[in-house]
């Protein structure tokens, strides 16, 4: 469907891209992100380093490709979803929609990517930076859609960051869990994290020194 019916050149490009992601995640998973050189990755797919950098902006980029797919769909959905009800709920709904739209076979790539990212400084950094970019885009989109009389950016960004924090926590637990990392398991953990939001924000410490 989305694969065929494209110019031959595009199809080839997409196949090479997918092969690079697959090879990169496999090699990074085996030897570690830092210990794997780009030459090994491009060697495994038999492409030149120059070609790699026409498809990905950095070594981190390829390792986080599954995550970026998700957020690309998220942003697209924010541009056209109904803006109705609590902001936090809208942000959460959009995430579930994006999750549901990921193609079959996305989970194993995503979990490989996340397990890598948890233990690699450079990937944590890149992942959070990408998230910040998404946040900025969402804010711009909402500011445009809601007009100049809508809420101030600060009011828009705080619930978004709450959603993201809960998402990151759920994702971390999902990637670390012993159970098979299915999409349903992820969804369940995300729902649990979202459900814990109200009580968490009202959390009080008992008196102690």
Partner DNA sequence: TGAAATCTGCCACTCAGTGGCATTTGGCGT
Partner DNA sequence: ACGCCAAATGCCACTGAGTGGCAGATTTCA
Among 6, 146, 177, 188, binds a copy of itself (CB under 8 A): 146
Site pattern 107..126 for a copy of itself (x: CB under 8 A): --------------x--xxx
How far, in Å, CA of 194 to CA of 179, rounded? 21
Checking phi first, is residue 82 left (phi over 0); if not, alpha (psi -120 to 50) or beta?
beta
The binder of 96, among a copy of itself, DNA, none, by C-beta within 5 to 8 A per type, is: none
**Does the protein bind DNA through residue 31 (CB under 7 A)?**
no
Radius of gyration of the chain (CA): 19
Q: Which is nearer to DNA, 30 or 46 (CB)?
A: 46
**Does the protein bind DNA through residue 3 (CB under 7 A)?**
no
Q: Which is nearer to a copy of itself, 159 or 181 (CB)?
A: 159
Q: How far is the CB of 80 from a copy of itself (least distance, A)?
A: 9
**Does the protein bind a copy of itself through residue 177 (CB under 8 A)?**
no
44 class by beta-carbon count within 10 Å (0-12 exposed, 13-18 middle, 19+ buried): middle
How far, in Å, CA of 54 to CA of 46, rounded? 15
How far, in Å, CA of 23 to CA of 13, rounded? 15
Among 31, 37, 128, 136, binds DNA (CB under 7 A): 37
40 class by beta-carbon count within 10 Å (0-12 exposed, 13-18 middle, 19+ buried): middle
Q: Which is nearer to a copy of itself, 8 or 154 (CB)?
A: 154
């Amino acid at each position: 469907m989305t694969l065929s019916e494209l110019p031959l050149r595009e199809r080839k490009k997409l196949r090479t891209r997918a092969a690079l992601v697959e090879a990169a995640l496999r090699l990074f998973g085996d030897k570690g992100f830092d210990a794997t050189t780009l030459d090994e990755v491009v060697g495994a797919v038999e492409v030149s380093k120059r070609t790699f950098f026409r498809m990905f902006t950095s070594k981190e980029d390829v390792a986080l490709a599954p995550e970026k797919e998700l957020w690309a769909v998220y942003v697209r959905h924010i541009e056209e979803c109904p803006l109705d009800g609590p902001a936090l709920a809208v942000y959460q709904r959009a995430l579930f929609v994006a999750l549901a739209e990921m193609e079959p076979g996305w989970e194993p790539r995503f979990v490989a990517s996340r397990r890598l990212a948890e233990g690699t400084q450079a990937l944590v950094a890149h992942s959070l930076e990408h998230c910040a970019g998404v946040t900025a885009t969402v804010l711009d989109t909402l500011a445009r859609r809601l007009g100049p009389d809508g809420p101030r950016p600060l009011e828009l960004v705080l619930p978004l960051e709450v959603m993201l924090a809960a998402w990151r926590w759920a994702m971390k637990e999902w990637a670390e869990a012993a159970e098979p990392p299915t999409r349903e398991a992820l969804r369940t953990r995300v729902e649990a994290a979202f459900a814990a939001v109200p009580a968490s924000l009202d959390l009080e410490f008992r008196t102690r020194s």
